[in-house]
Structure 1
Amino acid sequence: MSELRILLVENIHTVAKERLSAEGFKVDLISHAPSEEELLKLLPNYDVLGIRSKTEITAKVIEANKHLLGIGCFCIGTNQVDLQTARKWGVPVFNAPHSNTRSVAELVIAEMISLARQLGDRNTQAHLGGWVKSAEGAHEVRGKTLGIVGYGHIGSQVSVLAESMGLRVIFYDIVKKLPLGNAVGKATLGELLAESDFVTLHVPETPETKDMISKIELAWMKKGAHLINASRGSVVVIEDLVAAIKEKQVGGCAIDVFPEEPASNKVKFTSPLQGLPNVILTPHIGGSTEEAQYAIGLEVAESFRRFLRIGSTSGAVNFPNVDLPVKQGTSRLLNVHKNEPGVLGEINGIISKAGANIEGQYLSTDPQIGYLVMDVHSAQVQNLADQIGKLDRSIRTRVVY
């Protein structure tokens, strides 16, 4: 197990490498997001891969590297990974859904105040030698209404911060959520948009959220209201937002995510929103604080450690979740197989024929695969794993200790 090799890309916080190296794993860290072609060259030399949001793990990459034990997304989203293909070949995918919550929420609050006071424009003018000292168009946020679309971990944290500053908070979510503080849920998106002075988006990237804010929804907004998007770049139709700002239907916006983003800091960024009044553009930095990146590094590194050392898949987004304590005096064998009748019987038949004693056994399934964890007494545990791995319906079998 100490010889397992892990590749971390996209400047993942060094604390992840430190923690995994301390466990005896061989860890390499690179700063950029590898292309599909580069991944095809790199991954044959590694057992586990850690990425952030820009590295695309396609079906082609996974099919060519079926030996991969696991993939970690050192971020919230996992849409950059072909989760179905990873599951098909027994590769659990982990992420860090909570570690940057506070960082994103604080940025949203800062952007809301900046839009209300036109700080972006005033700052630019001052840098250029202008002195625009005027109260016209500048407002306090206290007493205004903040509409939150998506009341999950980040949305609810924004809700708490905003209410403490004296804002009225309303929210809309397709799943019924318990309001925090005095926040009030709205039955429809249109109702929320019509009432809000500020609208902030906190939704995942799904077919349902693609282009969910277009010219229709922008027309529903209160005239002069402000829009903040720190969720996914596919959620807002940028061209429609540009038109709404030029027509002064929308009073300003703060956009942190874009439909197309540069692959690295060396690539020039362009957007139709550039040069418009009261528009704040940030380079996908919602979760880019040292505190958040440190916490994300720890969270996913711990998921890797527990999976590689004891077979825990707790927190995997595409895999049956199993988390069992270590059973002293036994060997632990893991098996991923097609979820079809009779597989467990075949496996137990092999164990029984070898005369091994099963001290503990746990099977968790989803519609496609089964994940089996077995603690056995046997000096021939690797031989057992080899036999089980040869079953027609086995996908992956390994011994963790």
Structure 2
Amino acid sequence: MSKQATTSYPKERINILFLENISDKAVQQFKQNGYVNVRKLSGALSEEELIKQVKDVHLLGIRSKTQVTAKVLAAATKLQAIGCFCIGVNQVDLKAATNAGVVVFNAPYSNTRSVAELVIAASIMLIRRIPDKNKAAHEGTWMKDAKGSFELRGKTLGIIGYGNIGSQVSVLAEALGMKVLFYDIETKLPLGNAQSARSMKELVAQSDVITLHVPETRQTSNLINKTLLKSFKPGSILINFARGEVVDLKALAAALKECQLTGAAIDVYPVEPEKNGDPFSTPLQGLPNVILTPHIGGSTEEAQQNIGEDVSLKLFQYLERGITNGSHTVPAIGLPPVENAHRILHIHRNVPGVLSAINTALSHNNINILGQYLKTNDTIGYVVLDVDKKLAKQAVELLKQVKDTIKVRVLY
């Protein structure tokens, strides 16, 4: 196949904005691939600030703090894609992004190992009551005592949410000699000797350590509440490295004070500071055998590098080949380039007759379609067209005029 330009739009004119101190690996990858206009800011931006910044931005890279609202998307008239350099996408208004034809990618697997290892580490620290002994030692008190300290081996780990991270935790826990129970709203194939619990109430009543790995949804808000905490096995431990809204922290604090639970590790909170150094408070501060960390479950050098590489690759594939695998908005299409053709991307509202209108407009103007690919979701359709090079410019103008068109872009 003859070599051709990877994108019709000059790379040096594509503006990229990275927020929240995204890994330098991502910045390097873009620059090495010819995208020189890359700006990197260390913190998140408010909605008002972001609206000012995104006016001429083609690619936006964020992590979990930046909120990409409908107002932001309305202001980002040149925006082609958003890369969420993290595992979630709840910080983006996906409905508004879909309606605007903006592709949204994330990295759902890249920090799995980092989170799983920290869950196991926290389990060991809490079941040995290390936080209390560490605090005493720092204060000059010697607490050499085995009372209330146990091994993980032989204990039961209850996992709520048996997805990418939950199943990885399951494997590590079983390697340490733990019995594993899990609960998930979907049927999941157990790994190793893990067993599925029929309900969360059954799981928490039998588990010595309970760890949460669920997304933030309407159904998971205050999933761990005053009522469910009463069903926890007396003396058990709770770990939340998932989402801040999942646990009622006031109810958890009360359960710890009443010794229904003997320890907790919390990494995520309903309200978190915007940046390092900002004040922070939680009802769990000052309680014994509690580990509080500042949302660092996936914050390792390896995880950030993996995330940078994963999301960058998805963005490259979309910009240069029109591939949308892994997108949360535009339907997923993956296809090879076609020789001696121009490729046009057409995003439209998913209503009857659009594909027919596209084909009619092109055929009436004697524009030959060398290849065509269509995929839809409930809201939009995504068509990739390979047309004769000589007629591509005319084809683009015709496609822009098709009713219910959202976005048209010449790829190469």
Interval containing the TM-score (normalised by the shorter chain): over 0.9
Contact 1:74/1:300 (<8 A) preserved: yes
Matched, 1:224 2:235: yes
> Amino acid of the residue matched to residue 10 of structure 1?
E
Matched, 1:237 2:248: yes
Question: 2: CA distance between counterparts of 1:73 and 1:309?
Answer: 19
Question: 2: CA distance between counterparts of 1:308 and 1:263?
Answer: 31
Look up the SS of the partner of 1:379 in the other structure: helix
Q: What's 2:363 paired with?
A: 352
Q: What's 2:15 paired with?
A: 5
Q: What's 2:333 paired with?
A: 322
2:32 equivalent among 22, 27, 36: 22
Question: 1: CA distance between counterparts of 2:398 and 2:34?
Answer: 28
Q: What's 1:256 paired with?
A: 267
Q: What's 2:220 paired with?
A: 209
Look up the SS of the partner of 2:39 in the other structure: strand
Alignment of 1:2-401 (within 5 A): 2=11, 3-25=13-35, 26-401=37-412
1:12-44 per-position Cα deviation (integer Å, ceiling 9, x unaligned) = 001111111122222111100011011011001
Contact 2:340/2:389 (<8 A) preserved: no
Question: 2: CA distance between counterparts of 1:36 and 1:300?
Answer: 23
Structure 1 stretches of at least 4 aligned residues deviating more than 3 Å after TM superposition: none
Contact 1:101/1:157 (<8 A) preserved: yes
> Amino acid of the residue matched to residue 280 of structure 2?
F
TM-score by length of 1: 0.98
Question: 1: CA distance between counterparts of 2:253 and 2:161?
Answer: 23
> Amino acid of the residue matched to residue 40 of structure 1?
I
> Amino acid of the residue matched to residue 23 of structure 1?
N
Contact 2:18/2:39 (<8 A) preserved: yes
Question: 2: CA distance between counterparts of 1:386 and 1:53?
Answer: 38
Question: 2: CA distance between counterparts of 1:147 and 1:175?
Answer: 16
Contact 1:356/1:378 (<8 A) preserved: no
How many Å apart are 1:45 and its aligned residue? 2.3
Look up the SS of the partner of 1:234 in the other structure: helix
1:40-90 per-position Cα deviation (integer Å, ceiling 9, x unaligned) = 110012111010000001111112223210111100111110000000110
Look up the SS of the partner of 1:313 in the other structure: coil
Question: 1: CA distance between counterparts of 2:381 and 2:229?
Answer: 46
For structure 2, the residue ranges without an aligned partner over 5 or more in a row are 1-8
How many Å apart are 1:356 and its aligned residue? 2.3
Question: 2: CA distance between counterparts of 1:386 and 1:227?
Answer: 59
Question: 2: CA distance between counterparts of 1:130 and 1:386?
Answer: 77
Question: 1: CA distance between counterparts of 2:132 and 2:230?
Answer: 24
How many Å apart are 1:354 and its aligned residue? 3.0
Look up the SS of the partner of 1:304 in the other structure: helix
How many Å apart are 1:349 and its aligned residue? 1.9
1:369-397 per-position Cα deviation (integer Å, ceiling 9, x unaligned) = 10000111132313321221122310000
Question: 2: CA distance between counterparts of 1:42 and 1:382?
Answer: 31
Contact 1:357/1:378 (<8 A) preserved: no
Contact 1:363/1:371 (<8 A) preserved: yes
1:83-108 per-position Cα deviation (integer Å, ceiling 9, x unaligned) = 00000110111000000000000000
> Amino acid of the residue matched to residue 346 of structure 2?
N
Question: 2: CA distance between counterparts of 1:64 and 1:146?
Answer: 47
For structure 1, the residue ranges without an aligned partner over 5 or more in a row are none
Question: 2: CA distance between counterparts of 1:309 and 1:130?
Answer: 62
1:100-134 per-position Cα deviation (integer Å, ceiling 9, x unaligned) = 00000000000000001111121122122121111
> Amino acid of the residue matched to residue 309 of structure 2?
L
Identify which range, 115-124 or 201-210, moves more after superposition.
115-124
> Amino acid of the residue matched to residue 205 of structure 1?
E
Identify which range, 143-152 or 61-70, moves more after superposition.
61-70
Contact 2:344/2:411 (<8 A) preserved: yes
Contact 2:323/2:335 (<8 A) preserved: yes
Question: 2: CA distance between counterparts of 1:393 and 1:100?
Answer: 39
Instruction: Output the aligned Cα RMSD.
Output: 0.9
